[in-house]
């Protein structure tokens, strides 16, 4: 059975006290079903204390929003996977569309980051997705599959089984526009088929694939009810408990 996840990506939001208060509220009030998990991707300033708060429960985990691919060195302003591991980080976002767009992160660079994370037993949440222009031109499926191929498909079966994938249509991030449930299911199915072609049906069926693109309480249940959608990577709606908790509650407990 695939793990179902509600992941909140805070991006560059929340000061220190605000962030810890939100983590505490999510820990105290969220009651996800068996087989589901809540992951909060906080800014670096919250990570260590957020991890300590989350330790009081088993269903909330903390993720970093990025990492550097090198173990150490003269990389001012960067944070290595080893540093994250040393404070107990268990998950890391890799390849978010904003990192690709604003910081020019390539598929090849992201492959290095994925391997760095795995080397420290930190689970990568690998983000992929297309722009509106690419979707309108009709080659979005090929584009997303190429992202997977370039960044993930040289991993061994054992390493790939540790990956979580988050599909995020760039045209639906922060725009208020959401892919329809049918559009989400279509691309998630294509992603799972690409995994099956590379690694086999068993690994494909056990890979968690999240949808990320303007997930809100109003659409979460319909999105998460799709056969190949295993939860969401949530942006703005994860910044308040009153909007994130209903998304957590919308997580399905099983997919056939």
pLDDT digits (tens, 9 = 90+) for 88-143: 999 999 999 999 999 999 999 999 999 999 999 999 999 999 998 899 899 999 99
In this predicted structure, what is the pLDDT of residue 176? 72
Domain tally, the chain: 1
In this predicted structure, what is the pLDDT of residue 255? 44
pLDDT of 256 above 50: no
On whether residue 255 sits in a domain, the answer given is no
Rounded mean pLDDT of the chain? 95
On whether residue 87 sits in a domain, the answer given is yes
The β-bridge partners of 240 are none
On whether residue 35 sits in a domain, the answer given is yes
pLDDT of 246 above 50: yes
On whether residue 256 sits in a domain, the answer given is no
Q: How far apart (Å, rounded) are the C-alpha atoms in residues 252 and 35?
A: 9
In this predicted structure, what is the pLDDT of residue 177? 72
In the structure encoding, which two tokens stand for residue 134, read together? 């690419």
On whether residue 254 sits in a domain, the answer given is no
Give the number of residues written for the chain: 256
In this predicted structure, what is the pLDDT of residue 1? 79
Name the residue range of residue 28's domain. Answer: 4-249
pLDDT tens for each residue of 21-52: 999 999 999 987 888 999 999 999 999 999 99
In the structure encoding, which two tokens stand for residue 60, read together? 């909330």
- Asked if 147 and 117 touch (Cβ cutoff 8 Å), the reply is no
On whether residue 208 sits in a domain, the answer given is yes
In the structure encoding, which two tokens stand for residue 49, read together? 């204390």
Model-level pTM greater than 0.75? yes
Residues with active-site annotation: 96, 168
In this prediction, residues 53-57 reach a mean pLDDT of 96
On whether residue 72 sits in a domain, the answer given is yes
Residue with tokens 């009810």: 225
CATH number of the domain that residue 161 is part of = 3.20.20.70
On whether residue 151 sits in a domain, the answer given is yes
In this prediction, residues 218-232 reach a mean pLDDT of 96
In this prediction, residues 192-200 reach a mean pLDDT of 98
Residue with tokens 């999105």: 223
In this predicted structure, what is the pLDDT of residue 214? 87
pLDDT of 63 above 60: yes
């Amino acid at each position: 059975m695939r793990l179902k996840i509600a992941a909140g990506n805070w991006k560059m939001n929340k000061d220190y006290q605000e962030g810890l208060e939100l983590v505490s509220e999510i820990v105290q009030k969220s009651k996800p079903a068996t087989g589901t998990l809540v992951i909060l991707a906080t800014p670096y300033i919250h990570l260590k204390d957020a991890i300590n708060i989350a330790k009081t429960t088993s269903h909330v985990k903390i993720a970093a929003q990025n990492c550097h691919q090198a173990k150490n060195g003269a990389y001012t302003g960067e944070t290595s996977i080893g540093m994250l591991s040393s404070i107990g980080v268990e998950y890391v976002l890799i390849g978010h569309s904003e990192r690709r767009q604003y910081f020019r992160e390539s598929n090849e660079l992201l492959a290095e980051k994925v391997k760095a994370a795995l080397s420290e037993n930190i689970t990568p949440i690998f983000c992929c997705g297309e722009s509106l222009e690419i979707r309108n031109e009709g080659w979005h499926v090929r584009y997303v599959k190429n992202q997977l191929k370039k960044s993930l498909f040289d991993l061994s079966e054992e390493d790939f089984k540790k990956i979580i994938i988050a599909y995020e249509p760039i045209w639906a991030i922060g725009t208020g526009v959401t892919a329809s449930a049918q559009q989400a299911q279509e691309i998630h199915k294509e992603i799972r088929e690409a995994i099956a072609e590379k690694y086999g049906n068993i690994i494909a069926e056990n890979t968690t694939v999240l949808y990320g693109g303007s997930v809100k309480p109003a659409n979460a249940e319909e999105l998460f009810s799709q056969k190949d959608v295993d939860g969401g990577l949530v942006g703005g709606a994860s910044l308040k408990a009153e909007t994130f908790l209903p998304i957590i509650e919308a997580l399905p407990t099983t997919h056939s």
